[in-house]
Each structure stands twice: as C-alpha cells, then as structure tokens.
Amino acid sequence: MTIARVDRRAPRSPARPREAGTPVPADGSALRRHRRRRSRLTALAFLAPLALYLAAFYVYPLYRNLDLSLRDYTVRSFVAGDAPFSGLDNFRTVLDDPTFGPAMRHTMIFTFVSIAFQYAAGLALAVFFNRHFRLAGTLRALFLIPWLLPLIVSASTWSWMLNSESGVVNYALHTVGVAPVNWLNSPHWALTSVIIANIWIGIPFNLVILYSGLQNIPGELYEAASLDGASAWQQFRRITFPLLRPVSAITLLLGLVYTLKVFDLIWIMTKGGPSDASSTLATWSYQLGFGSLLPKFGPGAAVGNILILIALVFGLLYIRVQKRQEA
C-alpha cells in the first residue's frame, strides 16, 4: 500500500511584479563588504593628512640626516647633490674627535641632573597643590609662566640675571657678603648655569603631568589610610608614589627626550663655552654643521644621529619596562 506524502508547506504566493525604478535588494555579504570598504576609505581619508605631515616633517628629514652622515658633503656638493658615499667615515671622525668625550659627558650631566630636579620639584608642587586650598588654582597658573614663555625669552632673561657685572643674582650674593660668581664666563660654572635655567623651565611641565595623575587617585584610599593611622609620609610612600608610577614613567621619558635635544637655551646663554665647558652633543652638532665658513655637514649629521640613537634606546627601554609592569 502506497502512502501519499502530504506537503505541509504553505503555498507560495505568486511573485509580485517589480515596479519600474525599484532597486534590486543587494546580497547581505556584498552589502557588508561594501560597508567595510567604505569604512576603511573613511579611516584612510582621516589618516592621510597626518601621514603626509609625518612624511614631510619627520621621515624625510630623518632620511636626509642619515644620508648626510653617510656621504662626504662639502658646500659645493651640498648644492649640486653629488657627494660621494663615505660609509661610516663621518661617525669614525666624530668618535675620534677630542670634543666627543666632553660633549657626551656634558650631555649626560645636563640631561640627568635637569630631569632629577625637575621631577622632584614638580612632584613636590603637585602634591602641595593637590590639597585644594584657597587660591591654589591661581598659584598653579602662575607656576606655568616659565613653560608658556618663548624659550628665547627665558634664555635671554637668565643670561641677564646671571651676568657677572650687572646680574641680579650676583647683586643678591653681594648683599649677603658672598663674592660674585662668573656664572657664564667661568668653565667651572657655565654648565651649572644652563642646568639651573633648564630646571626652572622644565618644572611646570612636570607639575602639570604629575598633578593630573594625582587627580586620578581615589580619595577613599587616603581616607582609609588616615583611619588606619598612616602619616602623611606613609600615605605618600604607600599610595601616592606607587600609583603615580605609570605617569612618572612617561613624564621622565618625555623629559629625557626633550632635554637631550636642548640647543637654543645653551646656545643663547653660553654658546657651548667657554672652551667647550658647556658644549653638548646638540650644540656641537650645530657648530660642526653651521658654526664656521667651512661647515662639516657629514660629521654634524653624524652627531645628530647619535643623539637620535640615544633617545631611541631610552624609548625602547621604557617600552620594555612598561610591558613588564603590565604583565
């Protein structure tokens, strides 16, 4: 006996004829691909101005600086563009130069002493202003003035203040019975003078960054520590300083990169002298490339690349330390 199979599916309604001008519905996967493509094109359109800016003002100058350091450029070949390839000869010339050792030492002293005092003073001021007392905002704004002033103005002001004959610093020392100091003209004090000026300029930057980091620390932690009898120093050592570690790391890294390349402050105040007593890699690179009638473009560019390499090494160390802390 044969059993007839009953089709329980609902009968299809007859297809309605498509009206003229009605678009055909697109396939779902094709529509998703179209949206992804449009999203990528939009993202590229927003990134294009930034990419062009980085290529024009960072990538190309770095390439040209590297090319300068690997060729034997003279004034004629610099204009004509036919300098012969010399490999690492410019770097050997720089490393064998008797100025390299003192310039490297001055750069390290200038950088690390400036960063240490800038960070310590900025952190102390950030903790002080975090108490939210009356006129705290006004005083904090006044501390930003050194950071907002053009660097040429700050350097010229410090040059006047530290002048050996008419400077206000020596006048203040004279009033308390201290002999005047040749701040800018003495080989023993020239580097100290530019360090003092650089510390004064960099404190506001550390204050702003560290103060913003303090705002992200929950106040309940301090309240709980107070209830447990913790002193102000214990709260700073156990709460403030550990929780500020990520902000402190980026502050120190940015300060390091900025201080390594400081040129205008030193050049305006001492021009790297006297007798190269305050010369750094940045000022020496400028002197080689532009400081004489017969510029040494190749060695000057080589010194600049050494500075870039030092900053890159510290940047990679910072990234490695951050990954270890996040792990």
Most confident of 34-38, 219-223, 304-308, 311-315: 304-308
- Give me the count of residues in the chain: 327
Note the pLDDT of residue 169: 92
Note the pLDDT of residue 27: 60
**For the domain 105-277, what is the CATH code?**
1.10.3720.10
Question: H helices of the chain, where?
Answer: 28-54, 60-69, 75-80, 89-96, 100-129, 136-143, 145-148, 151-161, 168-175, 190-215, 219-227, 232-235, 241-243, 245-260, 264-269, 281-290, 297-326
Instruction: Supply the pTM of this predicted model.
Output: 0.82
Note the pLDDT of residue 228: 85
Note the pLDDT of residue 303: 94
Task: Give the pLDDT band (50/70/90) at residue 327.
Answer: low
Task: Tell which wins on pLDDT, 3 or 184.
Answer: 184
Task: Give the pLDDT band (50/70/90) at residue 98.
Answer: very high
Note the pLDDT of residue 94: 93
Note the pLDDT of residue 3: 43
- The predicted model gives 15-40 an average pLDDT of 66
Q: pLDDT digits over 207-244, tens only?
A: 999 999 998 888 888 889 888 888 888 988 888 888 99
Q: pLDDT digits over 114-151, tens only?
A: 999 999 999 999 988 887 777 777 888 888 888 888 88
Token reading at 201: 């300029």
